[in-house]
Every structure is written in C-alpha cells, then in structure tokens.
Structure 1
C-alpha cells in the first residue's frame, strides 16, 4: 500500500504535532450530498448500499471529492453486527432501522453468539479493502462499530427508542441477562474491528451513541467496562504502524476522565462540553475529537466560521485535537456550509500554529 500523503489525522490522534488541525465529520458520506442521494437511489435501498462493496466505496469517496477532509470513514451502519447475529435488520421508510426479531426471551439471549466477521460480515471487509485501494494513500481510512451498550439497546428495543424502557427494564430486573448480551456483543465488536484493521482500516472508532441515556451508576456498570474491554482487545499496530482508536459516548461529558482512563487513544466529545475545559481535565492522556454543534451549519457562513474558530481557540495551540461535529451531520445541512467549515478549520489552525 502507498504511504500516506496526508497523515495529519493519525498524528493528531497520537498527540503528535501537526501543521494544521485535521477535520472530518461523522456521517460525512450522507444524505446532505446530492451525489450520495443519487447513488442510494441506484442501490434501491440503504441496506443494498451498505452490502455492496463497490457502492460503499463510491459513497465513502464522494465527500473527499468535494471537501479537503483529512480522513475518510467507511460507509456502513452500526447495526451490521446484530444483523449478522440473525435479528433481521430492515429499514422502514421514515422510521429508521428496525429488527424483525428483537431479543425478548431468555433462551434467545442465552443462544446469542458473536458472528464470524469473515463469514456474515465479509462484505464490510471487502468494502474496506476496496476503499483503501481507491484512496491510494491520500488520507487514512477510519473503520468503526457501535458500542456494546448501544448495539444492545437496538437489539432489545427492536428500533430506536424515546425512553429505552425495554432495555433499561432488562438491565435493572435481569442484570445477568444484560451482561450476557453485552459480553457477547463486546466480543463481536472486537472481532469486527480487528477484521476491519486487517482489511486496511488505519484507525477505528467506537460509537456509544446511547451511553448518555444511562445514570451514573448504570453507565459504569453497563457501558464503560465494555468499552474498556473492546479497547483492550483491539489490534494496536499493523505493518509497523500504530492503529489509533477513538471512543465516543454521546452525552458522556460527565464521565470524560473515566473514559480517558480506559486505554483509548482519543475521546470524542459532543457539543455540550467546552473543549478547552475537557483538555484541562484529561491533560495529555488522550487526544480529543470534536465538538461543534451540528446545527451551527444551518447558520450564515460568517457564523459557521466564527463558531469553528471558537472551538479551535478553546482547545488552543496544543497537539491532540481532531476537529469534528459533536454528532453526525444533519441530512438537511447545506453542502456549502461544510466548505466554509473545512476551510476555516485549516486556515485558522495554521494561524494558531504560526503564533506559537
């Protein structure tokens, strides 16, 4: 494989000095781009798009053709693992993901097993390999997975939820069954991410999208230990290169120092926490990724630029910052706002470096 022409993202994750602050966006290949919508229409549906390595490669590269991003992220979905476990993933129009067979009975939970990523999920590895070839060393490729807790939420609820009543009821009334789901799912996530690394992913990210719905005690029992287990099981070096990892709990600012202590290389922040304060709390233990409010991108260009500079100034001229949104980009975002954001991050961070 070619050496990377732009390794700024990887160096920032390892808290090494960079010429500018690298930037990429969660869900950067998505419905805000007209070219993505065209490819998705050609695929017929979202799952077909995810399961076609050539189409997944096509949409992964689309934002890089428009914007000067410092990393690509594999186009896939966090629910590939429970789908491979036999829960029957499907997407209802306007309703998001659903499972035909959510976990309800004890015997179903006891029978749960981690899928072989080289069998049921080979299409993801094929996409990773194809994307790496297509990138040709331009920027690094990020692989990803949902966290054990977040995947378990979908597996028990059967869909996204407003109150998480089913999964929390199970956690409180039958913690033994909840821990069994989380243990099996953690092993599945480890195998899945390591298979992505072996296929060519140069960094990996764990999305704990629903960790923030837990109480302090429940987070420390049902999410954090399994994040730690996943991080401990990851391949850390391949072909002589470090493979950094990022852990992101949406709503996890309360537990920032605890997340930073699990052994990860970087912690993703949502938009509710001041990134300068976050840097003071974690010191040089981890890099930080974030954390512009995605809705800023609906504001006029001068406001987008101002808010981007505000995040950069709050972090300061220190190594270890990857600029991102505090969550995924909205499908309604004007594409031109992203141009303003990316250009501002690069220009302003270079000025910060020049000031010393």
Structure 2
C-alpha cells in the first residue's frame, strides 16, 4: 500500500520507538488523561447524572481523557508485543488489567451497599455478577454499570488479544497489517448510518458489544507507533489519523428528541489529544524541561493511574453527596472526589494490582519456561 516504507511493518517494538529509560513525557500524558477523566466526572457528569448535587464553580464538560487512554493502550501494545513470547505478552496484559478491575468492582459494589443514597442505583448480586463479567455493552438496558469508567476495560482486553493473534499471523506483518487498520476504521464509519437509525437489537448488540464504534482509538495508537518508528510516511499517517478523527466525530453524535446532536467540544479535544500523543511518540523526551521534583511525583501518579481510573467515579459521587448533605460546597466536593480517587487508586495498586501481576507472571513462568522470542529478527 502506498505510504508504507521499505522497513517491515509489524506489530513489534523497535529501537527508534522506545528507549531503555522510561520517558517522563509518557507519564505526563497518561497522568494528564486520568486527571481530565476525574475533572469531567467530578465537575460535569456528577451533576448531569445527579441534578440534586450543587452546580460546580468550574466545569470541564469534555469527554476526552478515557478515549486518549485507550489510544495510548493501542500504541503501547505495539511497543511491548515483541519483547518476548507473544503468549507471555498477552498473559501479562491480562494479569495487569483483570485482577484490579475485579477488585474495583467488588469494592464499589460494597460501598454502594454499605453507604446507600436514597433514589440512587442500588445494585443487586445479579448486577455485581454482570459487572464482573463486563456485560454492559452487550445489553445495557439489562446490565447497568456499577461504575461507568469501566467501559474501556473490555476494549483494552479485546485490543490486546487481537494484537496477539495478528502478531502470530501474516496479517500482523508487512502491508497486510495496514489493510487491517484501514478496515477497522472504515467499516464502522460505513455502518454508522445504520447504527443511528434504530437497527435491530441483535445488530446493535453485536456492534456495540465488540465496541466497533471505538476501534478507531486503538487504530490511532497503532498508526502513531507506525509513524514514530518510520514504518509509514507522514502522508499515509496523516490520512489514517484523519480517518480516525472522522470516526471520532461520528461517534460523538448522540440521539436526542430533537435528532442527532454532535459534541464537537469533545471531538476537537480528542483530536488535539491525538496530535499531542503523536508528537510525544515521535519527539524527544521532555525530561529537560520537567524538573526532577515534579517528575518523581508525575511518575508516582502515573504508576497508580489505572487504579485511580477504576475507583474514582461512583465512589466519588457518593462522597460528594454525603459531603453536600453535611453542608460542604461544590469546590470541597470536587476536591474530595479527586482526593478519594487518588487514595483508593493507590490502595488498589499497592494491595491488588502489583502483587497480583507479580504472582500471575511468576505462575506463568513456572508453567511455561522461557522460550526464544517469536520475533527474533525484528524486536528491539
């Protein structure tokens, strides 16, 4: 395909795309995305979902952070997949994502049951099981979210699984992988008119269940990696990224009684974020402009960011409501929601995410002794 360089295009790591030392720029981007997620939930969505909460003095109404985190997952899938046996790579992603997710669901369920709010969602044991199984996107009317932030988890798991399968096949290498990327963007765009025209339930269940309307975010991450490692040229990359931006714009249309309404603010914010991530991947590290004292704190927060993401929303809403009942104002509620998310995320990281990952990887290594990498001529 035109625009692919002479270098082999493959979903694997490359010297030009990675460094031995962790880049502070990536920690800053990841930390910024999680902060935007918390601000969106604390200042806008909290009051939108629960109008009895006091209006916030400062409002950040753009749904951008979670989308960019999914994009970053796509990028780092390419960076890491060639660093050893592909099965170990896949198991490592499962070991990193699933245990803290399951623990967060149980924690949030317990808080909702132990600290109920009159008139708010009161989950049952069936709701807990449905959330542990990630059934929301398949039948949202039957399986409500315990925490709406969790929508990214099954998409990440599917993305890492598809990456592993592609890497083991001829479709994850050479020009074929570029065909896969274009298809993953253009097919959802082509079916968008049907998706927003009250399609049959089975069609909606399949399309939303596999998250087809979000594939472009993972594709954008892969495209950024391909460009940053000089595997595709600037013109090809620009065209693919523009297609991903168009898919994001379509995704941000919502159905209202007045018809389809576009959320252009969120769309523009995500598109700007795509460019920021691309420049972060392509350019030098930001360590020369980030002082050490700030860098250490950013790295700490980035290290607990997944736990913060998983725990801050629903528990934060409950904290906000209880503080309001006690007479606290909107600024104090916002600060408490953010602070609670950071503390809960830190505890989840220390008590579940890291020890579970170590234990599961140790179990894998005991059962499957180290073998030569399947990508031995191409990995960094």
Q: TM-score, normalised by structure 1?
A: 0.32
Larger Rg: 2
The structure with the largest helix share of the pair is 2
Q: TM-score, normalised by structure 2?
A: 0.31
Structure with more relative contact order (C-alpha pairs < 8 Å, separation 6 or more)? 2
The structure with the largest strand share of the pair is 1
